[in-house]
Amino acid sequence: MTPSPEGLHLSGFFAVRQTNYGGRACFAQRNISRGTIILESKEPVGCTVCYDFRKEVCHRCFHYEGGNTMKFKLSAEDLQAFVIKIYPSGKEMETLLKKGSFLGAGLWFCSDLCRRDFLTLRDVSVLLISFEKLLRLFQSQNKARAAQKSEETGADPIAADINKHIEQRWSQIETEWIPRLSKLKDTRQQMEAPILTEEEYISVRFVIDTLWRIRADNLKKELCTRNQAFECLQSNEISKIRRAPSLLMSQIKIFQTLYIILPFELKSFLTSTLFRHIIGADYANSFGIWELGLQSDARELLGYWMIPEASFFNHSCAPNVDKRRIGNTLHFVTNKDINANEQLCIDYSGILDLDVKERQKSFSENWFFNCTCDRCSLELKAV
Ligand SMILES: C[S@@+](CC[C@H](N)C(=O)[O-])C[C@H]1O[C@@H](n2cnc3c(N)ncnc32)[C@H](O)[C@@H]1O
């Protein structure tokens, strides 16, 4: 059962309470005037940049220059100068450097400042080792991937009892695949890695980033609200797989890849239960990282991030809270005066100009819920 976020202190402006129409939601704890920042989120619990923008978006501040490649990449010298000096990470890091073939871990930055800022993050070596190993594996699969693309792939059959089917597949991984893999030597294990698509590669990176941040929070002595909120997040695992059954196989490939490549610092956190919660919570809660400064129908979706403390806002087609991104910070700002106890809602969709029927269809198909906000209820009565 998902734990309850109701006792968590996420913001001085709102508290989380149960609704009778759509799970938990945020309610103003006092009168709030228009233009107030009710939540500022600097650090997500996990984030990633979409594959198509991997060289075009700064990995630190999400700066994007209309498709230009970012100028700053990581080098082996950077690792020597920053990472190893501060956080010697032992054998795995040495191996990466010894071969003289450091690929840059697939990370790009808009400025030297962002690059340095990233390199001095706590325990960044664990993240770099994971990303670099993944990139090497992914590149080594290029030929096999090209061959696979031209083959016809049949859709997975939809099981009558989807819950049971999902549990059975994960149980096989726990009781058969992991024990079999554990008997193999490291080099043989690498050969067991499934061939990833570009989308799956990005999902592996997202999970690595999430595990790395969860670990960092766990290492802190005091209880971390962000981690507690993360545990309370709604999961859309079942609804998503019911809609697209092939996702289950894809998730298993992502898990297997992680199991094979992760350094022990992160692997010790990787259980199928945590993995499934990360993926399921991502489906239900992640925010898009959008290109700045353009109309919603003209901007690019650069990536996505999961922000647990901001994930209890329900959607409304007449939202009273706006999202504003400045670099890697997301502000939640009231767009009108709000009374105490009023519900605080954001827009999930960017489709508020559509008519109610089209909005309802889109929410049901893409977000797996029937929107019952005040505006929809009113407009549906009129139709
Ligand atoms: C990001 S979560 C918001 C928090 C969520 N209510 C919870 O309890 O964790 C999104 C989910 O909230 C519910 N939800 C949000 N807005 C809604 C709305 N306008 N009508 C019905 N359900 C809504 C849906 O189940 C949706 O998948």
More confident call, 44 vs 87: 44
Are 95 and 39 within one domain? Answer: no
User: pLDDT category, 106, cuts 50, 70, 90?
Assistant: very high
Given this model, what pLDDT does residue 325 score? 95
Are 160 and 94 within one domain? Answer: yes
Residue 105 and residue 107: Cα distance in Å, rounded? 5
Are 183 and 98 within one domain? Answer: yes
Q: Comparing 223-227, 267-271, 372-376, which segment has the lowest mean pLDDT?
A: 223-227
Q: What is the pLDDT of residues 262-292, one digit of tens each?
A: 998 999 999 999 999 999 999 999 999 999 9
Q: How far is the CA of 36 from the centre of ligand 1 (A)?
A: 23
Q: 323 - beta bridge partners?
A: 332
User: pLDDT category, 256, cuts 50, 70, 90?
Assistant: very high
Structural domain contains residue 252: yes
CATH number, position 19: 2.170.270.10
Confidence check: pLDDT of 17 > 80: yes
Structural domain contains residue 377: no
Give yes or no for residue 315 CB within 6 A of ligand 1. yes
Are 107 and 38 within one domain? Answer: no
User: pLDDT category, 5, cuts 50, 70, 90?
Assistant: confident
Mean pLDDT of 305-333: 97
User: pLDDT category, 175, cuts 50, 70, 90?
Assistant: very high
Contact at 8 Å (CB) between 155 and 243?
A: no
Beta strand 14-18 pairing with 24-28: antiparallel
Mean pLDDT of 127-156: 84
According to DSSP, residue 174 is labeled: I
Given this model, what pLDDT does residue 155 score? 56
Count Cβ atoms below 10 Å from residue 248 Cβ, excluding itself. 19
Report the number of secondary-structure helices (H) and strands (E) in the chain: 17, 12
Give yes or no for residue 29 CB within 6 A of ligand 1. no
Containing structural domain, residue 337: 14-43+310-353
Are 238 and 314 within one domain? Answer: no
Mean pLDDT of 24-47: 95
Sign of CA dihedral 155, 46, 232, 38: negative
Given this model, what pLDDT does residue 88 score? 54
- Choose the final residue of a domain: 270, 285, 300: 285
Structural domain contains residue 299: no
Residue 349 and residue 290: Cα distance in Å, rounded? 12
Mean pLDDT of 8-31: 95
Confidence check: pLDDT of 158 > 70: no
User: pLDDT category, 217, cuts 50, 70, 90?
Assistant: confident
Are 23 and 74 within one domain? Answer: no
User: pLDDT category, 345, cuts 50, 70, 90?
Assistant: very high
Q: How far is the CA of 240 from the centre of ligand 1 (A)?
A: 15
Are 131 and 209 within one domain? Answer: yes
Structural domain contains residue 256: yes
Given this model, what pLDDT does residue 156 score? 62
Given this model, what pLDDT does residue 340 score? 98
Give yes or no for residue 348 CB within 6 A of ligand 1. no
Mean pLDDT of 181-191: 93
Contact at 8 Å (CB) between 8 and 225?
A: yes
Pocket test for ligand 1, best of 369, 370, 373, 379 (most atoms within 8 A of CB): 369
Given this model, what pLDDT does residue 157 score? 64
> CA triplet 186, 190, 196: central angle to 5 degrees?
155
Contact at 8 Å (CB) between 19 and 25?
A: yes
Are 165 and 70 within one domain? Answer: yes
Structural domain contains residue 180: yes
Dihedral of CA atoms 222, 224, 227, 228 in degrees, nearest 10, equals 100
> CA triplet 272, 212, 43: central angle to 5 degrees?
120
According to DSSP, residue 225 is labeled: H
Are 202 and 317 within one domain? Answer: no
Are 52 and 89 within one domain? Answer: yes
Pocket test for ligand 1, best of 10, 242, 314 (most atoms within 8 A of CB): 314
Structural domain contains residue 373: no
Given this model, what pLDDT does residue 151 score? 64
DSSP states along 347-383: -SSS-TTS-HHHHHHHIIIIISS----HHHHHHHHH-
Give yes or no for residue 234 CB within 6 A of ligand 1. yes
Residue 27's φ and ψ, nearest 5 degrees, are -125, 140
Which tokens in the block code for residue 106? 């697939």
Of residues 298, 260, 237, the one with CA closest to residue 66: 298
Structural domain contains residue 187: yes
The per-residue pLDDT of the chain, averaged, comes to: 91
Residue 332's φ and ψ, nearest 5 degrees, are -110, 115
Given this model, what pLDDT does residue 294 score? 75
The beta-carbon contacts of 74-82 under 8 Å, at least 24 apart in sequence, are 74/102, 74/104, 74/105, 74/107, 74/115, 74/119, 74/128, 75/102, 75/104, 76/100, 76/102, 78/115, 78/119, 79/125, 79/128, 82/116, 82/119, 82/120
Closest ligand 1 atom, residue 312 Cα = 4
Are 202 and 332 within one domain? Answer: no
> CA triplet 274, 144, 198: central angle to 5 degrees?
45
Given this model, what pLDDT does residue 160 score? 76
pTM: predicted TM-score of the whole model, two decimal places: 0.94
Are 177 and 317 within one domain? Answer: no
Structural domain contains residue 121: yes
Give yes or no for residue 371 CB within 6 A of ligand 1. yes
Mean pLDDT of 282-309: 92
Confidence check: pLDDT of 153 > 60: no
Number of folded domains that form the chain: 2
Residue 383 and residue 364: Cα distance in Å, rounded? 18
Count Cβ atoms below 10 Å from residue 98 Cβ, excluding itself. 11
More confident call, 122 vs 67: 67
Element (H, E) at 308: none
